[in-house]
Amino acid sequence: MNIPLPNHKEKFSSEEISELAKESQQRKTSLKIAEFPSLESVKPTEGKRSAWRTRLIDAERGFTIGLRADSTLIIHLFSGVIIVTTAVVLGISLIEWTILILSLTAVLAAEISQHILKTIWDQLGHHFEKSLEKTLRLSTAAVFVVITGATLNIGLLFGRHLWQMFR
């Protein structure tokens, strides 16, 4: 199957080239005007985002970075989903929900703080003395303490409800 190709050796006069260029430019301009709104209608009224919106965007991006960089955060989120589902099934009270949510958020905050220190140490650690490497161990210990406390809180909450169910 032979498809005829255009003859590229054909020569155009300078007038024809300038006329084709003008037509092409007009087509591009008419498409831009027809398809896209004006920039004034897209811009926010003040020209920049409000402070609270910027903080929310930064928080979302930081959380995304944490999820992509460290698998332990994903494990804690998965465990949190299982814990919240169990709490719904057990029908815990408002005070127990408060304790549960505080425990889960403390674990996530501790893990994110640990990731911050790891990142700083990876980027700048070679500028510091080796004795400052203890900071990573201390942050790991802090995460362990928070996880242990949260596990005990949640275990006591669920244990009491399970004890009442099977008593």
Q: What CATH number is associated with residue 85?
A: 1.10.287
Is 138 inside a domain boundary? yes
Q: What span, in angstroms and rounded, lies between the C-alpha atoms of 80 and 108?
A: 10
Has this prediction a pTM greater than 0.75?
no
Is 41 inside a domain boundary? no
Strands (E), the chain: none
Q: Which residues of 113-126 are buried (b: 16+ CB within 10 A; e: fewer)?
A: ebbeebeebeeeee
What does DSSP assign to residue 26?
H
| Residues spanned by the domain of 127 | 71-165
Q: What span, in angstroms and rounded, lies between the C-alpha atoms of 138 and 78?
A: 25
**The total number of structural domains that make up the chain:** 1
Is 12 inside a domain boundary? no
Per-residue pLDDT of the chain (167 residues; tens, 9 = 90+): 455 445 555 566 677 777 767 776 666 555 444 444 444 444 444 558 788 888 889 888 888 888 888 788 889 999 999 999 999 999 999 999 999 999 999 999 999 999 888 888 888 877 777 777 788 889 899 999 999 999 999 999 999 999 998 88
